[in-house]
Copies of this chain bind each other. A is one copy, B any other.
Amino acid sequence: MTKFSVLILGSASASPTLNRNPTSQLLNINEQYYLIDCGEGTQSKLREHKVKFQRLHHIFISHLHGDHYLGLIGLLQTMHLLGRTIDLHLYGPPQLKEIIDLHLKYSYSALRYPLIFHPTQAVQSEIIFENNQIEVSTIILKHRIPCTGFLFKEKSKPRVINPDAIKLHCVPKHAINKLKNGEDYIVFDTKKVIKNEVLTLKPAKSRSYAFCSDTKYCESIIPQITNVDLLYHEATFMQSEEKRAKETYHSTAEQAAQVALKAKAKSLIIGHFSNRYLKLDNLLNEARFVFKNTELALENSVFEIKETQ
């Protein structure tokens, strides 16, 4: 059973409050970490959760509003001071590089590890990272400045070998990998075909997480996130503030739930709460009225996507 979980490090919108930090989330996919957004205070939150900075290799920044990236420069500096030498991959708007370079220039510093910058563009969705397990693509959001969400998707998993069937049919070791890839087994001397499904079991389903940070209500993202297992969607305001949400290119809790509903998401978490809301029950209820399986993406919460067949 491999892990696929989201740890919430910050749930506040632009103005942090005493209990709510600006946006940041730590994704754990099979013990590989992916940091999404990095508001002020993220390095402290990571320490609080005893996350070793050495284990961070990929950081994704959605857009250049301060509450989504102002903790990044400090985190990069701390990694440098801790003696990091391994690569760090950073994905974000092209101008982020210019900002980092200016900070480094005036602190007379050069990072002693390679910072590999991958500029994103907010025009059309593209795959910005993949390895043998997952694929990350941008989600084009509608915010006041260029802004992308990120869709993390597990790749199709190999079929699972059925050890009893393998034994029964005397399948040799060298044929195993082909079986995992879905091929049938052909007995060497008789040329008899044994169907793959006789020898293997269905693999676990590929899981997916969609991070939709700052955006106004936007149906154009729905095809891309249809059937997503877990959707994070910002919900800065209540529906009573719909006008304000539209003006500021943000969403209401109801709108976030509408997106989840239309995308047939399995579950929804909402965050980026305006500091006008001291209690969040009403936001949650408003979303749940439209999309039942909703939770608040509060600091220190962990949302796990279980493996299913």
> Given contacts A43-B40, A78-B15, A82-B15, is CB(A102)–CB(B98) below 8 Å?
yes
Q: Kindly state the separation between the CA atoms of A74 and B106 in the bound complex, as whole angstroms.
A: 19
Does A195 sit within 8 A of B, measured CB to CB? no
Decide if B145 touches A107 in the complex (CB within 8 Å). Answer: yes
> Given contacts A99-B102, A99-B103, is CB(A71)–CB(B15) below 8 Å?
no
Q: Smallest distance from the beta carbon of A160 to chain B beta carbons, Å?
A: 42
Q: Number of A residues contacting the other chain (C-beta, 8 Å)?
A: 37
> What residue of chain B has the Cβ atom nearest to residue A63's Cβ?
B107
Residue in A17, A48, A65, A144 with the greatest tally of chain B CB atoms within 10 Å: A65
Residues of B within 8 A of A93 (CB): 106
Residue in A96, A102, A145 with the greatest tally of chain B CB atoms within 10 Å: A102
> Contact string, A47-79, partner B, CB cutoff 8 A, digits 1/0?
110000000000000001111001101100110
Does A278 sit within 8 A of B, measured CB to CB? no
> Given contacts A64-B107, A98-B102, is CB(A18)–CB(B73) below 8 Å?
no
> Given contacts A102-B99, A103-B66, A106-B95, is CB(A18)–CB(B40) below 8 Å?
no
Q: Kindly state the separation between the CA atoms of A109 and B47 in the bound complex, as whole angstroms.
A: 31
Decide if B102 touches A40 in the complex (CB within 8 Å). Answer: no
Extra inter-chain contacts (16) besides given A16-B43, A98-B102, CB under 8 Å:
A14-B77, A14-B78, A15-B82, A16-B78, A17-B47, A21-B44, A40-B41, A40-B43, A40-B71, A64-B103, A64-B106, A64-B107, A66-B74, A66-B103, A70-B74, A99-B106
